[in-house]
Amino acid sequence: MSDATQSAFAAGLLEATPPPAGIAAWNSPSPERRYGVYRNNVAASLTGALATRFPAAERIVGPDFFRAMAAVFIRLNPPRSPLLLAYGDDFPDFAANFEPAREIAYLADVMRIEAARTRAYHAADAAPLDPQVLAEIAPDRLGGLVLVPQPSLSVLSSPHPAVTIWAMNAGERPVEPVADWRGQDALVVRPHMIVEVVPLPPAGAPFFGHLAQGRALAEAASTAMAADAAFDISANLAILLRAGAFTAIRKDQDDEDRDHA
């Protein structure tokens, strides 16, 4: 089999071209339906991989629409790796710009929650920071603390009630009209073996977002305060500890000075 033959066989699997030259069946020189089995396997297995990763999205739009949307995505963005557990990281961005889904404005953000959840499921394991470690930090050093985020941590922010809609379509609560239609932010994190979606209070997203990027605690808190005066440091710190969103204190400048003293 030359590289060209393999190319032709591969090309027809994603595009509606006639079967490639050189294939045959015992009863036919042009076995369209038999070649179609391979085409079906590729489409069905990749659609299945996306449906496994985005079940809430499938419920929101219905299986027929989901399959059709997935088919277009697969043609434009076929997997570039045999690790299907990571396939579809960019499916939410695709959905955000997918014209037939335009009116479901919240769909892409629900899918971002689902993508973050599966990333967290497979992320490296790390023990959460022991609250006692923070309790023992001298007050004047708190503001300069830089924390190491869980490998599983994502900080998500939506102008829609995406967390509530995700929960309804993930079987965590009944599907019903959203009583309080406003934007929602959330952490997605796996502190131990269970992936959690933790809703955030006002300005929680910039606070955790900055912390996750390696900004110091005081800086993250000031940014959050500037973003929304309703920012409650205490409530957010309680979430930080309870959710196990960080694993350790990164060595900061003070530590360096102390080590060299």
Partner 1 sequence: MKTMIATLALAGSLASALAAVATPAAAADDAKEKCYGVALKGQNDCAAGAGTTCAGTSKIDYQQNVFKLVPKGTCLSMKTPDGHGMLEQGMAPA
Partner 2 sequence: MIPSALPRRTGAGFKPEHFAAIIAEPQPIGFFEVHAENYMGAGGPPHTQLGRLREDYALSVHGVGLSIGSMQPLDRAHLARLKTLCERYRPESFSEHLAWSTHDSVFLNDLLPLPYTQETLDRVADHIDEVQETLGRQMLLENPATYVLFSESTIEETAFLAEVARRTGCGLLLDVNNVFVAATNHNLDPGDYIARFPLEAVREIHLSGHSETVDELGAPLLIDSHDTPVKDPVWALYETVISRTGPVASLIEWDNDVPAWPVLRGEAAAAQRMLDAAARQRAA
> Closest Cα partner for 114 from 197, 192, 174?
197
- The count of C-alpha atoms lying within 13 angstroms of the C-alpha of 7, restricted to the half-sphere facing its C-beta, is 3
Beta strand spans in 93-169 (E): 146-149, 154-158
Binding partner of 203, given partner 2, partner 1, none, CB within 5-8 angstroms per partner class? none
For residue 246, what are the β-bridge partners?
149
CB of 136 to partner 2, least distance (A): 28
Contacts (CB under 8 A) with partner 2, residues 208-247: none
Which residue, 77 or 223, has its beta carbon nearer to partner 2?
Answer: 77
Q: Using CB under 8 A, which residues numbered 42 to 81 contact partner 2?
A: 42, 45-46, 49, 78-81
Instruction: Count the alpha carbons within 13 Å of 130 in the hemisphere toward its beta carbon.
Output: 4
95, 117, 115: which is closest to 105 by C-alpha? 95
Residues facing 72 on adjacent strands: none
Of the ranges 59-67, 114-122, 154-162, 235-243, which one interacts with partner 2 (CB under 8 A)? 114-122
From partner 1, partner 2, none, interface partner of 124 (C-beta below 5 to 8 A by class) = partner 2
Mask 160-189, x = binds partner 2 (CB under 8 A)?
Answer: ------------------------------
Which residues have a Cβ under 8 Å from the Cβ of 38 and sit 6 or more positions away? 13
168 binds, among partner 2, partner 1, none (CB under 5 to 8 A by kind): partner 1
Which residues have CB under 8 Å from 206's CB, separation 6+? 220, 223, 224, 227
Shortest gap between Cβ of 58 and partner 1 (angstroms)?
7
Chain centroid offset of residue 164 CA: 16
Sites for partner 2 among residues 76-95 (CB under 8 A): 78-85
What does the binding site for partner 2 look like in residue numbers (CB under 8 A)?
1-3, 5-7, 9-10, 13-14, 19, 22-28, 31-35, 37-38, 41-42, 45-46, 49, 78-85, 120-125, 151-152, 190, 193
